[in-house]
Structure 1
Amino acid sequence: MSDQDLDGFFSTARVSGRAEAVTLGGESYREDLYHHDDPILADWRGLGFREASARKRRPDFVQELLGDWRELYEEPFRGITIDGVVRDDVWRLAPPSSPDPRPAEAATGLLGMLPPDLGERVRYPLDAPQWRAWSNPEFVIHEVGLRLEELPDDAARAALGVVAASLSPEGFERVAEAMELNAFLGDLTDLPSLMNARSYWFSLFGEPSPGGAWGWQLFGHHVAVNFVSVAGRHVVAPVFLGAEPALSDGARPPLFEARQVLAVELASSFTQEQRAGAVVYTSVLDPAMPAGRLHPADERHVAGAFRDNRVVPYEGLQADALDERQWDLVRAIVEDFHQLLAAPQRALTMREFDARRAETYLSWYGATDGSEPFYLRVHSPVVLAELDHHAGVWLANKLPAAFHVHTTLRHPNGNDYGKAYLSQR
């Protein structure tokens, strides 16, 4: 069956199984740039984000996606599980003795500088459903809080100052680089009004306090970060970070290169027996995948926007089958996923991860030598972390490529948005 166009950007190629391998070529995104006069770009030029979003939502394909996502958004929150049952033995709130005051101070400073109308728009109750309204396409599904590009420069900087004060320096650098890569894509396509470094929504939840319970959310194209502080313990989940292109021929720093190098090193080290267990599908478009496993927007990842309650059974290789060097590589990958957390908070989170080694599973789709696009998932009672190579949206590659990367991070068993900790206050 030939590939079919779905809405001008998506085709059935990204969800169609194929017997032949999806191989990597030179992997320069520049080979897949549309000409600036191509209608796929030219028809959007000059549109603001609201007008473009309204047009992007019109096709039947997108309306069907939005309907599915709306139903998921309206479900009561439970959390990601392996079988539909949230385990109550996983998360135990252990507040630090000296909560870091800087995130709350930065948030209070932002509120103090905003005029009353913007201060009202940026704030939500701690239990507001808008926590779960984030999404990662470039078109807007839900407007939550304040749009950075609509703010005065000092207010936008203050909002990003809250993000910087809450995350590790290297974590904030990664988030900022993902936002800059969005601007880079806007420059490549000559669509800066749709994709720029401030095409993002920012909001505050609860009353900022070092030892209290509050949080913030930042989301937009290829960036969604949810930060919650409960009695000084920080949760940064769910997280969605991606880029198209993530590898930019030196024009911008590569966003996930270190993580992908670790992943290929790990997969290349598998023994024959380990490979048989870890490799769930031999290709990212393996025709053996069951119906519905490939999603036209999410492709292989299972923990993206609106998937707060998804049932995701374990698959792949149990971590007990790995040797210590391989386990160290898994730990390095998981720690890289948690890089956004401040170092002391990250150490606490990694301690929780280490305690669940016997219940940790690693799954891999694709060749294990780096010659093909791949999908990686690390999954345990306390983490679900994914890296997936995607087909193009604003670039022309119809099949997954290593320069378009999506990553997700979740806290299964009900601690996304810090909700398990919040229930223990």
Structure 2
Amino acid sequence: MTERNPAVRMVEAARAWLDSLDHEQRAAAALPWPSEEERHRWYYTPTDHGGLPLLRMRPAQQSLAMQLVATGFSRAGYVTASTIMGLENVLAQVEGWQVNWGRERGRDPQMYWLRIFGEPSVHSPWSWRFGGHHVSVQHAVAGGRVVGSTPCFFGADPAESPLLGSHLLRPLGASEDLARDLVRSLDEEQAACALLAPVAPVDIVGGNRPRIGDGDMVIPLPELWRGRFTEPHLAERVESMHRGAEKQAGVQPEHHEAVKLTTAPKGLPAGRMSSDQQEQLRALLEVYLGRIPEELAEREAAKFAGDKLHNVHFAWAGGIGRGQPHYYRLQGPRLLAEYDNTQRDVNHIHTVWRDPEGDFGHDVLAHHLREFHDRG
């Protein structure tokens, strides 16, 4: 029988992986608890995410690493993450095999890093992080339970790819289709409240900030990497990519202002939606919460059960037609979910689920630390 407590599954898988590593590998893979500055770093660009990459593991070690990664996802979440990783091969072909990002293989499905902070235990606090291009997941464990599962990022580039039989591979299709159906169902008064700007930002607004703050705006692409590029052609490439994306989209200062993050949620509250629209919103929210193990997803969903959903706001920017650049977010108590599809001719999706108060388990771990010191 599978252990019902995700924290126990994580502890067992983390220990098995660490035990398989040699001294040099373990030095890269593990840091002492809490290593706060590094623990709060996360990325979704093809940069060094910190830790030990799959590329530096033997096949058996890779298997153990992925077994740990699987403990942090639902079945559907793990399949989605694995598919996104495999898209690196597709993206390389789309780009004509020309992009290198300063390394031997530019788009590499083995350049995903795993790192553990502290000693895996059901008693003392610890956490783990897995990430690479378009996947970033972290879980914090304390007191025998998982106390934090955000930020959790999924992206897809290409967002759509052809399959045999005229089918499409769309790893994040539900997050697009459910939201578009919802915005199209709004009446004129609701739409006026939900629409923030006619032009969508070229990325999620919160970016990869460790903490979300009032007034945050889109982070330029060069700042989404671990450090700055020292090679001039790479530095210029990321600069020009950001400038070109904003120019093509027609983003103006007033559009940045309209979509900037605020403590008070923008958009249409669920309390002003019909019952059918609320069910559509709930289905969309579950696409984000359903990434993590079922036991944890149920706990998160309970925060928005019944009338608690009424405080969740739905906001949209950009066009509502398929193929038009668009952005949306869900924001409410302990919730920020963002989605953006504007890049690569609207075939490049970024999505993230965050808890502005509890990312990285911050709120629970802070309470745990205070209790520990008080007892001491």
* Interval containing the TM-score (normalised by the shorter chain): 0.7 to 0.9
Residue 171 (1) aligns with residue 55 (2):
no
In structure 1, the partner of 2:150 is 237
Using the TM superposition, name which of 180-189 and 320-329 deviates more. 180-189
In structure 1, the partner of 2:161 is 248
In structure 1, the partner of 2:349 is 405
Residue 380 (1) aligns with residue 293 (2):
no
Q: Could you say what secondary structure the match of 1:421 adopts?
A: helix
In structure 1, the partner of 2:233 is none
Q: Distance in 1 between matches of 2:60 and 2:289?
A: 29
Residue 116 (1) aligns with residue 29 (2):
no
Tell me: CA distance 1:222–1:371, structure 2 relative to 1, closer, same or farther (3 Å).
Answer: closer
Asked if 1 retains the 8 angstrom alpha-carbon contact of 2:6 and 2:295, the reply is: no
Which residues of structure 1 form unaligned runs of 5+? Answer: 1-95, 285-293
Tell me: CA distance 1:380–1:247, structure 2 relative to 1, closer, same or farther (3 Å).
Answer: same
Residues 88-109 of structure 1 deviation map (CA, whole Å, 9 limit, x = unaligned): xxxxxxxx99565211101000
The equivalences for 1:255-294 within 5 A come to 255-284=171-200, 294=201
Q: Could you say what secondary structure the match of 1:155 adopts?
A: helix
Q: Distance in 2 between matches of 1:417 and 1:331?
A: 24
Tell me: CA distance 1:204–1:100, structure 2 relative to 1, closer, same or farther (3 Å).
Answer: closer
Q: Distance in 1 between matches of 2:4 and 2:65?
A: 27
Tell me: CA distance 1:224–1:100, structure 2 relative to 1, closer, same or farther (3 Å).
Answer: closer
Residue 159 (1) aligns with residue 65 (2):
yes
Asked if 2 retains the 8 angstrom alpha-carbon contact of 1:239 and 1:408, the reply is: yes
Aligned letter for 1:330? L
Asked if 2 retains the 8 angstrom alpha-carbon contact of 1:168 and 1:341, the reply is: yes
Q: Give the number of aligned pairs.
A: 306
Q: Distance in 1 between matches of 2:205 and 2:318?
A: 17
Aligned-pair CA distance for 1:357: 2.5
Aligned-pair CA distance for 1:226: 1.4
What is the identity percentage for the equivalent residue pairs of Structure 1 and Structure 2?
25
Aligned-pair CA distance for 1:424: 2.6
Q: Distance in 1 between matches of 2:286 and 2:122?
A: 25
Q: Distance in 2 between matches of 1:358 and 1:201?
A: 38
Aligned-pair CA distance for 1:211: 5.0
Q: Distance in 2 between matches of 1:308 and 1:158?
A: 31
Q: Distance in 2 between matches of 1:361 and 1:163?
A: 31
Asked if 1 retains the 8 angstrom alpha-carbon contact of 2:44 and 2:136, the reply is: yes
Aligned letter for 2:29? V
Q: Distance in 1 between matches of 2:269 and 2:131?
A: 33
Q: Distance in 2 between matches of 1:216 and 1:385?
A: 22
Aligned-pair CA distance for 1:126: 3.2
Aligned-pair CA distance for 1:163: 0.5
Deviating above 6 A after TM superposition, structure 1's stretches of 4 or more consecutive aligned residues are none
In structure 1, the partner of 2:267 is 316
**Greater relative contact order: 1 or 2 (C-alpha under 8 angstroms, separation 6 or more)?**
1
Residue 199 (1) aligns with residue 111 (2):
yes
Q: Distance in 1 between matches of 2:5 and 2:337?
A: 29
Q: Distance in 1 between matches of 2:206 and 2:290?
A: 18
Equivalent in 254, 276, 279 of residue 328 of structure 1: 279
Q: Could you say what secondary structure the match of 2:192 adopts?
A: helix
Which residues of structure 2 form unaligned runs of 5+? Answer: 99-103, 215-260, 369-376
Asked if 1 retains the 8 angstrom alpha-carbon contact of 2:337 and 2:353, the reply is: yes
The equivalences for 1:66-81 within 5 A come to none
Aligned-pair CA distance for 1:214: 2.0
Aligned letter for 1:424? H
Asked if 1 retains the 8 angstrom alpha-carbon contact of 2:339 and 2:350, the reply is: yes
The equivalences for 1:28-177 within 5 A come to 100-128=7-35, 129-140=37-48, 144-177=50-83
TM-score with structure 1 setting the length: 0.67
Tell me: CA distance 1:234–1:336, structure 2 relative to 1, closer, same or farther (3 Å).
Answer: farther
Aligned-pair CA distance for 1:307: 5.0
Residues 35-78 of structure 1 deviation map (CA, whole Å, 9 limit, x = unaligned): xxxxxxxxxxxxxxxxxxxxxxxxxxxxxxxxxxxxxxxxxxxx
Residues 241-286 of structure 1 deviation map (CA, whole Å, 9 limit, x = unaligned): 11210100127731111221111111111011111111111232xx
Q: Distance in 2 between matches of 1:382 and 1:206?
A: 26
Asked if 2 retains the 8 angstrom alpha-carbon contact of 1:267 and 1:369, the reply is: no
Tell me: CA distance 1:270–1:177, structure 2 relative to 1, closer, same or farther (3 Å).
Answer: same
In structure 1, the partner of 2:207 is 304
Q: Distance in 1 between matches of 2:112 and 2:4?
A: 34
Q: Distance in 2 between matches of 1:99 and 1:225?
A: 15
Aligned-pair CA distance for 1:369: 4.4
Using the TM superposition, name which of 226-235 and 113-122 deviates more. 226-235
Q: Could you say what secondary structure the match of 2:277 adopts?
A: helix
Aligned-pair CA distance for 1:144: 1.4
In structure 2, the partner of 1:49 is none
In structure 2, the partner of 1:16 is none
Q: Could you say what secondary structure the match of 1:274 adopts?
A: helix
Which structure has more helix as a fraction of its residues? 2
Asked if 2 retains the 8 angstrom alpha-carbon contact of 1:237 and 1:411, the reply is: yes
